[in-house]
Amino acid sequence: MNREPQIQVFRIAHSDGSYIEVSNLGARWLSWVVSDGNGKYSDILLGYPTVLDYLQDDCYMGAIVGRFANRIAGATFSLEDHEYTLEKNDGANTNHGGYSGFHSKIWKGSYEGNKIVFRLSSAHLEGGYPGNVEVTVSYSFTSDGMVSIDFDGVSDRLTVLNLTNHAYFNLAGKGDILQHRVTIPSSYILETNAEFIPSGGILPVEATEFDFRYGKNIGKDIEKQTQQLEWNRGYNHCYVFSLYDERKMKWAASVYEPKSRRKLDVFTTYPGVLFYSSGYLSSQIVGKQGYKYTPMCGFCLETQYFPDFPNHSEFPQGVVFPEKPYHHTTLYKLSVV
């Protein structure tokens, strides 16, 4: 990624030889260079070759998404009997923070000890959301080589926050992901409509194409002619881990790629994870090293609160106010097996 004024790239490395690069443009996770089963190091994140590509990006490649990850129905919600109108950037709805989303902002970045820390201020009613909000996102390596992303936020009044990282992974480095074997230890997904808005229903995955509890290849059921898969061009669904905002660290997913023998485990304090098989990527997108990105060439595991939770009191609520700051952590463990 070429450097230009205002745009900064930061790198931290682990003693095992792996390293990550992140940028203050959207606090993006640009690369994660790791070893495969033959000791060869390569990048397992999708991305772009130039800054201009990231400035024009509409796929949220590696970006921190906010103020609200995923969709809010009708681009409206109410808090304390006050209705807030948001930016409609997805038909009648808002998605990933609207046009004012954090993915498009230049954050303040710095090295602080063994961490890379990004800070961003969002003014009251920016994008339609209440509260003057200060957000901090930190990237670091744990002692055993896991990548840790900490999400923190404070607000001067009652508001909602839902922050995630939108990295696209390919454990082989390139090619399709259909032979990646995914395990998601969740028995339920959110039911959604054709606009990807939750109905409020929580569906059991047992005996459906969404059952990844015991591990299966992404490609095994992805071509099934079901309404949910057709609407989403594959997987684009929120898996439920908790109906409460308990903020306990839990195993959320495991992905194994047989040729590289790389295995990715994801742990999080969030109540859900959105598994996206990149069905909406276009062959018009030219990525790193000139590769053309096509549908199913990357996957996302977006740890988050449930989509549209402000309009569903039965969902865990990511509400923030002066006495209740926002804090969540997601861990990514890469191993060779």
List the binding residues for beta-D-galactose. 70-71, 166-168
Give which of 305, 308, 323 is closest to 154, Cα–Cα: 323
Which of the following is catalytic: 21, 126, 257, 302?
302
Calculate the alpha carbon distances from 5 to 56, 76, 288 in Å.
16, 36, 21
User: What is the residue type of 334?
Assistant: L
Q: Is 166 a catalytic residue?
A: yes
Please tell me the distance from the alpha carbon of residue 313 to that of residue 241, in angstroms, as a whole number: 17
| Helices of type H across the chain | 51-55, 227-232
Residue 85 DSSP one-character state: E
Question: Is residue 113 helix, strand or coil?
Answer: coil
Which of the following is catalytic: 166, 180, 237, 328?
166
CB distance 169 to 175 below 8 Å:
no
Please tell me the distance from the alpha carbon of residue 198 to that of residue 268, in angstroms, as a whole number: 22
Q: Give one DSSP letter per residue of 154-211, joined into a string.
A: EESS-EE-B-EE---B-TTSSS--TT-EEE---SEEEEE-TTS-EEEEEEE-TTSTT-
Q: Is 302 a catalytic residue?
A: yes
Binding-site residues sit at 70-71, 166-168
Catalytic center residues: 166, 302
